[in-house]
Amino acid sequence: MQYLPGLSKFFASVDSGDEIEMEQSLSIFSSELSLTEEQVLVTQPLDKALSLLLECLNGNNNEILIQSMTCITLILDTLPELSEVLVHYGGIQKICEKISSSGVIELGEQSVRALEKISLEYPLETLEAQAIECIVRVMDYFDVETQKKILNIMCNAIKALETLEVVDRQILPHIPPILFLIKNRSASDFRVEKILEFLTVFIENLLMILPHKGDAFKPYSKALVDYGLIRILLDIFPSHIDLVLRLLFNLCDHSSIAVKNFLVVGGFDIIKDSILGSNSSNGTFFTGMLDLLDTLIPRIPASEPWNKEKVDFYNTHPEYIQSFSELILPRATTIYENFLSKEDKGIMISILEKILKVANIDLISHHLTCQSFSTFLSELMISKDISTVRAALRISMTLYGKIPQKIAVNFAREGVIARIAGLKEPDRLKEFKKIPDKKIGANLDDFLLRSTDSKNPYQIESMLNNMKTKIIKPATIEDYKKELLVYSKKILDKHKLFENKKAPRIGKEIKMVSQKLSNCFGESAIEILTKITALLNSTERLSYYEISNSSIAEALWKWLADCTTDKLLARLSEFLKIFTHDSIHNDTFLSILIKYLIGTANFIHHFRIILHDQKTLNAKRSHKIKIVMEYCGQLGLEEISKEKEFKTRHLLFSTHNKLQFTTYQLIPIEKIKELMLRISNETDLYMLIHQKCITEATVHMFLDKPYASDLQVVIYNGNKECQRGTTILNLASKKSPLQLRWKFIKRGSFDLPFRYLKSSQEILENIIQESMNVGLDIKDKSYVYFRIVKYFFMISEFLPYLSYFLNMPGIDSLPISTFTCSKLSALLSRQLQDVVSTEGNIPAQWVKNLPSKCKFLFSSTSRSEFMDCFGFAAIYKTEKKQKYTVSRSRILEDAMNILQDTGKCIETMLEIEYQDEVGTGLGPTVEFFALVSREIKKLKIWRNMCEYSGLFPCPISESDSNWEVYFEFIGKFIAKALIDGRHLDFQLSPTLWKIVFCHSLSLPDLRMIDKHIGIHFLELMNNPKLVNKAGLYFTLPGYYDIELKPGGSKIPVTSENLEEFIDLASINSLKTDFQAKALRKGIETMLPPDSLSIFFNSEIEDILCGEHSSNWDISTLKMNIIPSHGYTVNSKTFMNLLVVMSKLNQKQRKCFLEFVTGFPRLPLGGFEKLSPKISVVKKDADQNVDNCLPSVMTCQNYLKIPDYTSYEALEKNLLYAIEEGRQAFHLS
């Protein structure tokens, strides 16, 4: 064997004992270790070298000591398994000695590096060598990087803790100096996190090795509390939430002392603030908080010593359990609804059980009111999870044991008793199919699943021995069902003893009134409706069970909607005259009724969602599917058969009519269609079929291929056409491969139906018809409730108009919030967080239909999330950019050319630069959308613009001859802006959107496109005598050359033909379905055409155009404008700038925003949502500073302002710059 030269010299120097020679040889050897490859080093006798290097550490020559330790570290860097040699020769002790006693920093640093490597391989030996004691004392002597290595050593070593002797002798005495390291608020995040990790593993391992008899943890928990651990944890909680929660959980779960101290030093306030301020998007944090709360409250009956002490503590200090009750009980339903993981539900129920058993019931009984806690239990009772139902029954038993009279009334009114009684029904018992999950040993499970932890075989063996108990026959699902029946019988027996048959009076009354209304066939039901409002006005509120049991929803529908046409208006008028009055509850009776109906729908229908874990997501994303696609296109007489694009592709795929390839389950079918449109020759087809797997990257590979923009691909699964948004997962079956058929068709758009509702009767009939489609099956239990709620919503929308016919002038629409359901919004948001459901297009069925048919039920936030997940179906948000150079002088033409390739527009983000100008990126791109928007507004395709109502097409006869091309382009432009997250500087009329979405129109829509004509027509309808003075003829208002009927320009409008005139004028003004069809066609080239219909009119404008108005006050500006690079918040020029900005008028604000960001409006949410934020930096001036203009860098929203000598100079130069420089980059 040939030794490395330096290694040979080192061996020789050790034999000779010559220190100078040893220094030189070690220097050469260390260089060789740094440069030599691993395959060479493994051939060297490095084990011998390590033993000799350890001997060198016994000397006093600092240079030899440093070089020796450096060589040890370099060897372990490459071959960490050689740590065994160091351990064998007692190297850990020697290295620790050098760390703690050497005054030479470099030697200490090298020693720490070596020990870090050893601790990874031999944590137990590192621990036994008292390394923790050694390194904690000297940590602050080293630099930050070395301190990080010391912390790593501590965390590595503590994982091997296995004896109490080590705890008592080496760990516990050194906890105070360890805690001191994080007491200081200036401690780095890394230091805090590592020490929290150390403490967590220490306590977890300590609990594993402690005897399982008695309260062995008590002295240790007392010591930790006395050291101030809990107070320190609360101080650092906000910045290290997850680690602190885990540590507190382990402490409080096994120690009453820790619980007492936690509450005494203010721990409850942290729990309260966290629960009140948290949201469902941070599920991990909330689960951790519930876990902690669960450990603070003892189990009853308390068998363990620490649980008994917890019970005694709460008996002595009832104020704490009362605080928990006041925090949790009123919010039980909200928490249960908003945090939907099975783990959270189980923990929540456990907390409730404990609170009810531990608390003094007299102090908390006011929280157990009807429609709160009883409602919550009633919903638990309809769960299909047998564990949940068992827990609900146990809670019910507890309540009957403590407040039987009160709970008997509430349970009867809220339907809990009815649902408990229903458990004995065979159909109900069949719903329980799964045995409750039970861990065979939670501590072992947790320990083994901690993938980052070093597994100590001694710990695992110890835990397995502790788990050895007598074998118990596992329970079956039938055993659990029998247990349910036993529980339910006990509760029903208790209920009979305390039932108050006079109590549910209001429930019986609402049922009787509903029956009377249902059987009322006369013209008036004023007495019955008045009685209903009296019940709604009662201080004794109705329960959802009582509402559902009364059939009030069916009765109201029958009275208001299921009657002859001539009665519709009269009955609605009578109903509104009664229900639009205010109640004693600070709301109208109609609003109260709507909230009851929505709550009842949720009560009787358990809206379930489908959730998948990370393992399932990974499996779905990686699972491949074989696909066979058979081309079924044919040449025919249609126009498409003559087109070159079709002929070329038809011939190609007729020759190769069966394509076979592999793809992933979550790939949208739109990606396959996109590829087919780009394959036009044998070479491209060969490239495609020889791809190992069709992925997103495959689509990008073909983006530069010719795109058949006039064609679209239709794919069939059997005889059924695959709709937009379909994924391979939707189509995949057990059969392999997946068989699909496909063909090309001409890209087009279906004809849009145009329907104008002439009268109030037609409007009501349309409302009734629309209300019957709520997105749920007619057999669904909640259908009748959402049907009548949708009816009320649509009536509310038309109220300002219908009020003229109802003889109730001045009635306003109800606020949208009246119809919004927080529970459904939370459920929808949670479902949309499930990636498998959204990417695979397999959510719960109601999720796909209810939001689009009953959008009023959902918050704007949840609907925006819905749009992101399903509106952008088949579109993956990508950072891939496609750069284009455009000319300002022909910006519209360039934009139209860019959007020809809609496939490329879907797959890439647009990036713009201007001819002969400096600047590219975000700023020019944002400005591009603004400039094209302005050109669109100039097109001769619009009626006279109205600033507030938005753009609406003018009659085709008055339009530019290219109107169809323009409207299709505008549709594409809108879709591209949505995909790229850009905003437009024009808004379309809500009436035009209604036509695009195939909604019916009426006279109020005419008012939206021409306010003056709409008001004038209403006045004429209310007072036909005015028409004689109006001087009107049968011509189209605003376009008097267009006759509404033959010879119309000579036919005057009179009171006799007024109705005909208004109908004809309204229809001809509103009938723009051809333009709307072209607009829709453009949108659907990139997006599902109805994707925006889930929003209300005002929301569409905000989504497309940004925020119309926002706060520009100084406090808002100060919070969102960032001074930097020469300016601070106190700089005079910066403060002057904020004052100038706050005084800008609406036009100047638009100019300022366009100058700085490239776009004249802020995003939805105002300055707070602007990204990146506007930064103000100091601009150097080579000349007189007051003659220097501000400049910008729009790609980063940078505003460069000279340090002007006065406010007036700043104002003058800024106003000039924003006006002159906002549409060019010469001020960049």
Active site residues per annotation:
1195
Beta bridge partners of 741: 630, 716
Range 799-814 burial, b when 16+ CB lie within 10 A, else e: bebbbebbeeeeeeeb
Using a 10 angstrom Cβ sphere, with 0-12 exposed, 13-18 middle and 19 or more buried, the burial of residue 381 is buried
Give the DSSP H/E element, type plus range, for residue 1199: strand 1198-1201
Residue type, 150: I
How many other C-beta atoms lie within 10 A of the C-beta of residue 424?
A: 14
State how far the Cα of 268 lies from the Cα of 271, in Å rounded to an integer. Answer: 5
Specify the 3-state DSSP secondary structure of 277: helix
Residue 367: DSSP 8-state:
G
Report whether 312 contacts 300 (CB < 8 A).
Answer: no
Instruction: Tell whether the torsion through CA atoms of 466, 472, 477 and 481 is positive or negative.
Output: negative
Tell how far CA 1199 is from the center of its chain: 33
Q: Dihedrals φ, ψ of 522, to 5°?
A: -80, -175
Using a 10 angstrom Cβ sphere, with 0-12 exposed, 13-18 middle and 19 or more buried, the burial of residue 721 is exposed
Angle in degrees, CA 896, 900, 901, rounded to 5 = 140
- What is the separation, in whole angstroms, between the first and last Cα of the chain? 68
Locate all alpha helices (DSSP H) within 36-143, ordered by sequence.
Answer: 38-41, 46-56, 62-78, 83-88, 91-101, 105-121, 123-128, 131-138
Q: Which residue has the tokens 């009426």?
A: 1002
Q: Which residue has the tokens 């458990």?
A: 423
Q: Dihedrals φ, ψ of 881, to 5°?
A: -110, 150
235 contact partners, CB below 8 Å, separation of at least 6: 185
Tell how far CA 619 is from the center of its chain: 22
Cα atoms in the 13 Å half-sphere on the side-chain side of 992: 26
Specify the 3-state DSSP secondary structure of 107: helix
State how far the Cα of 925 lies from the Cα of 882, in Å rounded to an integer. Answer: 11
Report whether 734 contacts 1055 (CB < 8 A).
Answer: no
Question: What are the tokens at 150?
Answer: 């010391």
Report which of 169, 168, 165, 233 is spatially closest to residue 199, judged by C-alpha positions: 233
Cα atoms in the 13 Å half-sphere on the side-chain side of 885: 5
Question: What are the tokens at 1100?
Answer: 């569409």
State how far the Cα of 361 lies from the Cα of 343, in Å rounded to an integer. Answer: 27
Instruction: Tell whether the torsion through CA atoms of 438, 440, 445 and 448 is positive or negative.
Output: negative
Angle in degrees, CA 735, 737, 739, rounded to 5 = 90
Tell how far CA 257 is from the center of its chain: 39
Q: Dihedrals φ, ψ of 69, to 5°?
A: -70, -35
Report which of 177, 222, 171 is spatially closest to residue 201, judged by C-alpha positions: 171
Question: What are the tokens at 132?
Answer: 């923790």
State how far the Cα of 774 lies from the Cα of 787, in Å rounded to an integer. Answer: 6
Question: What are the tokens at 1206?
Answer: 């006065």
Specify the 3-state DSSP secondary structure of 929: helix
State how far the Cα of 575 lies from the Cα of 577, in Å rounded to an integer. Answer: 6
State how far the Cα of 398 lies from the Cα of 300, in Å rounded to an integer. Answer: 11
